[in-house]
Amino acid sequence: MTTQRKAHQKGPGEREDVVPEEKGPSRRRFIQWLAAAGAVIAPLPWVSFAEKERPAGGSPSTPSPQDGAQTTPRRQWVMVIDLRKCDGCVSIDTPPQCTEACIREHFVPEGQQWLQIYEQQTPGGGSFFQPTPCYQCENAPCVNVCPVGATYHNEDGIVLIDHLRCIGCRFCMAACPYQRRFFNWGDPNLPPEAAFASYSPEYPVPAKRGTVIKCMFCVHRLRLGRLPACSEGCPMRAIYMGDLNEDVATNGLEVVQLSTFLAENNAYRYKEELGTQPRVYYIPGHGQEFGRKAQDQRDLLPVTWDYGLLGSLGH
Amino acid sequence: MAPEVIERERLEATVLAPILRPSRLYDLGLILLGLITLWGVYAWSVQLRQGLVITGMRDQVPWGLYIGNLVFFIGISYGGTLVSAVLRVTKAEWRRPITRIAEAISVAALVVGGVQIVFDLGRPERFLNLFLYGRLQSPLIWDVVAISMYFVACVIYFALPLLPDVALLRDRLAGTVPAWQRWFYTFLAAQWTGTPEQRERLARAMNILAVLIIPLAVSVHTVLAWVFSMTLRPGWNSTAFGPYFVAGAVFSGIAAVVLAMGFFRRLFHLEEYLTAKHFRYVGYLLLTLNLVYIYFTFGEYLTMMYKLAGEEKELLQALFTGREAPLFWSFIFGGLIMPALLVALPWTRTILGIEVASVLVLAGMWLKRFLIVVPSLQVPLMPLEFGRYVPTWVEWSIMLGSVSAFLLLYGIIGRLFPLISIWEMVGEQETAPAEAAVQARRLMFPQPAFEGPRAVASGEE
Q: What is the 8-class DSSP label of residue A235?
A: T
3-state secondary structure of A234: coil
Report the alpha-carbon distance of residue B295 to residue A305 in Å, rounded.
51
What is the full per-residue pLDDT of chain A (315 aa) written as tens digits?
444 444 444 444 444 444 444 444 566 666 677 666 666 555 444 444 444 444 443 344 444 444 444 455 588 999 999 999 999 999 999 999 999 999 999 999 999 999 999 999 999 999 999 999 999 999 999 999 999 999 999 999 999 999 999 999 999 999 999 999 999 999 998 888 888 899 999 999 999 999 999 999 999 999 999 999 999 999 999 999 999 999 999 999 999 999 999 999 999 999 999 999 999 999 999 999 999 999 999 999 999 998 876 544 544
Nearest chain A residue to B123 by CA: give it: A167
pTM attached to this predicted model: 0.84
Name the minimum distance, in Å, from the CA of A174 to any CA of chain B: 7
Of B123, B139, B382, nearest to A168 by CB-CB distance is B123
Residue of A14, A127, A130, A148 to mutate, testing the B interface (most B Cβ within 10 Å of its Cβ): A148
Residue of B nearest to A185 (CA): B53
Provide the pLDDT for residue A5.
43
For residues A306 and B7, give the distance between their C-alpha atoms in angstroms, rounded to a whole number: 81
Q: What share of chain A is helix, strand, coil (3-state, %, to 5)?
A: 30, 15, 55
Chain A residue numbers touching B231 (CB-CB < 8 A): 141, 145, 174-175
CB contact set of B26 (below 8 Å; sequence gap of 6+): B18, B267, B411, B415
By Cβ distance, the residue of B204, B227, B439 closest to A12 is: B439
Question: Under an 8 A CB cutoff, do A118 and B383 touch?
Answer: yes
Q: Write down the pLDDT at residue B9.
A: 83
For the segment B298-329, what is each residue's pLDDT rounded down to a tens digit? 999 999 999 999 899 999 999 999 999 999 99
**To the nearest whole angstrom, how far is the Cα of B132 from the nearest Cα of chain A?**
8
Handedness of CA A222, A226, A229, A233 (dihedral sign): positive
- Spatial distance between the Cα atoms of B302 and B299, rounded to a whole number of angstroms: 5
Domain residue spans of chain B: 3-299+372-456
Please provide the average confidence, as pLDDT, over all residues in chain B.
89
| pLDDT tens digits along B402-424 | 999 999 999 999 999 999 988 88
Task: Please judge whether A179 and B50 are an interchain contact, meaning their C-beta atoms are less than 8 angstroms apart.
Answer: no
pLDDT of residue A2: 41
Instruction: Name which of B50, B382, B434 is nearest A12 (Cβ-Cβ).
Output: B434
Give the Cα separation of A41 and B382 in Å (integer): 41
Among B231, B236, B237, which would you mutate to test the A interface (most chain A Cβ atoms within 10 Å of its Cβ)?
A: B231
Which residues in chain A touch residue B64, judged by CB atoms under 8 angstroms apart? none
A161-170, B14-23, B75-84 — most confident range: A161-170
- pLDDT tens, position by position, B131-149: 999 999 999 999 999 999 9
